[in-house]
Every structure is written in structure tokens, then in C-alpha cells.
Structure 1
Amino acid sequence: MYKPSEEELQTWCAKWQKILSLKHWSVQVKYEKKHRMAAGSYAEVFCKTGILSAVIKIMDPMDYDDPYIPQNIELSLLHELIHIPLMMFSKPEEGTTEDVLQEQFVELMSRALLQCNSFCAETINRELAC
């Protein structure tokens, strides 16, 4: 199991903040132990929208125990970053239809962006190899 350093997490965060036009936000990313996170969460974001500040907590890979879905730390980070601008509009009550739909939207966008990023990197590497 690979555990990126917290410095690597911040590098990924800066990259995605730039892509998502969130560079004006102060975002700290750190690992958190499973017992200190909400039940069922792999990552969490806490925002202070008035001062454009956020903390993203990613479950420590040593605590990750889902045997069916491998942990994708960059996907979790991106997922939480996409929540940030949405929180400026509303924070739906957990479990409501709006909450479920927002989670589904955020997850779809996270996966799509990560896939596009991977595709672009492969294309660039292929062109440079020619």
C-alpha cells in the first residue's frame, strides 16, 4: 500500500485548486485516523466560506479497510475540493434527496476530471515520445 506524503497531498491539492479555479482558497490537506472521522467517510471537508478557508481530511491509508474498493486518495481529495464551491450555496441536510443527488454529482465530476487528467497526461507523454 502506497501512502503519499502530506507534502504530496498538498501538491495534488494545489494542482486541482488551479484546475477548479479555487486558487484563492486556503486549503489544508491532512490524514486522519478512521475513528476520528464520520462513520462511513473516506474523506471530509470543513469550510469557512466567509474567509475562503478549508481543511480536507483524508482517511489514513493504514486505517482503510474496504476490501471491495481500493482507496484512491487523489479521487477523494478531488471529491472534497468540488464540494467547496457548492457549500457557498447550500449544505443539504445529510440523507436528504438533495444531499444524495449532490454526492452523486460530486462523485461523477470527480471521476470524470480525474479520467480527463489521466488521458491528457498520456496524450502529452505520447506526443513527447515521438
Structure 2
Amino acid sequence: MSNASITKTTPEWNTINWAKVQRKVFKLQKRIFQAVKSGNKVKAKKLQKLLLKSHYAKLLAIRKVTQDNQGKKTAGVDGKKSLRPNQRLKLVKELTIKGYKAKALRRVWIPKPGRDEKRGLGIPTMKDRAM
């Protein structure tokens, strides 16, 4: 990976401390849960916005979609089945709510056993899954 494609503040994908990332995201989720449980909706809403903008939450979302989930090798509308580590880091930077619009879904028709009908499943892109 070239040094030009990555900034000094962003580590390479393979060197990220995933235990720390999970801990930070879980801690924020726990704060949201506690705010909702205590009835403080304003605080919960602010914490939810913070979670949406969190770099750690974005990293974790991309990791789950591209590495952990069972459907990680399923191509979406864009035809991408997997992403290289530098593409994953680029996708983390692209995840923003502002101006976001999901792409149209790709339909895959699956015949159901014992029936004449087929069931259509929509397959979103990697970015749409992470969002």
C-alpha cells in the first residue's frame, strides 16, 4: 500500500486495534441505552448522532459487512464482491449521512421448493449495507 493513499492519522487496516474499536462503540451504545432507560430522550438523540459520526463505529460497520457477515462475498448492484484493505479505509471516509441515497437493489429470483412461485431478494452494495 502506498503512503500517499493513507494519512498519518489513519492506520493501515491490518494494524487497527479491533478490541479498542469494539470497546469504544460498545461504550457509546451503552450510554445511549442508559439515556433511553432513564427517559432522557434529548441526550439519547445527541448520543445517537455522535454514534453515526463516530470513526470507530464506521470502522466496525465496514469490518462486519466486508469480513464478518455470512453474506460478505455476495455482490450488490455495483458488482463488488470483496474489498481490499485500502478500499475499506476509503469506504470508511465515504460513510456520511449528509446527502446519502441508497442505490437501487439488485433482484435475485430464488425458486422456492414445493411452490411454483419465486421469491425476489434485494442485494444492497457494500456501502449501503454498512450504512
- From the CA coordinates, give the structure whose radius of gyration is larger: 2
Return the TM-score normalized by structure 2.
0.26
Q: Flag the structure with higher strand content.
A: 1
Return the TM-score normalized by structure 1.
0.26
